[in-house]
Amino acid sequence: MTQGIKACVFDAYGTLYDVQSVRTSAVELCGDKGELVTQLWRLKQLEYTWLRGLMQDYQDFWSVTWASLEFALESVGIAPSPSVCEPLMQKYLNLDLYPEAREALDSLKSYKLAILSNGSPQMLQALVKASGISHLLADVISVDLAKTYKPNAAVYALVEPALGIAKRDILFVSSNSFDAIGAKHFGFNVAWIERGGGPAVPTSSDVTSFEFFKLLRGRAEAFEHRADFRIRALTDLPSLLGEPKVQRAEARM
* Calpha distance 118→26 (Å, rounded): 22
Strands 229-231 vs 96-97: parallel, antiparallel or unpaired: unpaired
In eight-state DSSP terms, residue 32 is G
Q: In 10 A of CB 66, how many CB atoms? A: 18
* Calpha distance 181→81 (Å, rounded): 37
Residue type, 168: R
* Calpha distance 141→193 (Å, rounded): 20
Beta bridge partners of 96: 18
* Calpha distance 24→6 (Å, rounded): 38
Burial of 56 (0-12, 13-18, 19+ CB in 10 A): exposed
For the range 92-96, what are the long-range contacts, defined as Cβ-Cβ under 8 Å and sequence gap of 24 or more?
Answer: 92/22, 92/65, 92/123, 92/127, 93/123, 93/126, 93/127, 93/130, 94/126, 94/127, 94/130, 94/131, 95/13, 95/17, 95/18, 95/19, 95/21, 95/22, 95/127, 96/17, 96/18, 96/21
Q: Catalytic amino acids?
A: 11
Beta strands in 81-169 (DSSP E): 96-97, 112-117, 139-142
